[in-house]
A and B are shown apart, each in its own frame.
Chain A
Amino acid sequence: MAPLLDVEELQVVYPGPKNLWGRSRNSVHAVNGVSLTVLPGEALGLVGESGCGKTTLGRAILRLIRASSGRVLFQGEDWLRLSSSELRGRRRHAQMIFQDPNSSLNPRRTVGASIGEALEIHRLADGRAGRRTRIRELLTSVGLPEDSEGRYPHEFSGGQRQRIGIARALAVEPKLIVCDEPVSALDVSVQAQIVNLLQELKRARQLAYLFISHDLAVVEHLCGRIAVMYLGRLVEVGPSREVCRSPAHPYTQALVSAVPQMHADGVPRLHLRGDPPSPVNPPSGCPFHPRCPVAEARCRTELPLLRSIGPNRQVACHLAV
Chain B
Amino acid sequence: MSLLEIENLQIDFRSGDGWVRAVDGVSFHIDSGETLCLVGESGCGKSVTALSIARLLPTPPARYSGGEIRFDGRDVLRMASAELLQLRGKSVGYVFQDPGTSLNPVIRVGAQVKESLAQRDRALATDAEVVRRLAGVGIPAPELRARDYPHQLSGGMQQRIMIAMALATEPRLLIADEPTTALDVTIQAQILELLVELKQRLGMAMLLITHNLGVARSVADRVAVMYAGQLVESSPASQLVGSPRHPYTRALIRSVPELGQTGSRLEGIPGTVPGLGRWPTGCRFAPRCVQVRPDCSTREPDWLETAPDQGVRCPYTNV
Contacts and interface: CB of A to CB of B under 8 A. Distances in A.
Interface in A176-228: 187-193, 195-196, 199, 214-218, 220-221
Interface in B11-54: 41-42
B186 A244 contact: no
Contact of B266 (A196, A256, A263): A196
A265 B241 CA distance: 11
Contacts of A158: 272
A261 B218 contact: yes
Interface string A230-259: 000000000011001100000000111111
Contacts of A159: 272
Interface residues of A, number: 48
B192 A260 contact: yes
A262 B250 CA distance: 12
A221 B254 CA distance: 13
Q: How large is the interface on B (under 10, 10 to 19, 20 to 34, 35 or more residues)?
A: 35 or more
Given A160-B272, A189-B273, A260-B189, A275 B156 contact: yes
Contacts of B219: 267
Interface string B96-127: 00000000000000000000000000000000
Interface string B232-265: 0000001001100000000111111111111001
Contacts, number: 141
B255 A192 contact: yes
A189 B43 CA distance: 13
Interface of B: 41-42, 140, 154, 156-157, 184-190, 192-193, 196, 211-215, 217-219, 238, 241-242, 251-262, 265-270, 272-273, 288
Given A188-B212, A258-B186, A261-B259, 6 more contacts: A192-B267, A218-B257, A258-B188, A261-B218, A263-B258, A272-B186
11 contacts: A49-B187, A188-B41, A189-B251, A199-B265, A220-B260, A259-B185, A262-B253, A263-B217, A267-B196, A272-B186, A275-B154
Interface of A: 49-50, 157-160, 187-193, 195-196, 199, 214-218, 220-221, 240-241, 244-245, 254-270, 272, 274-276
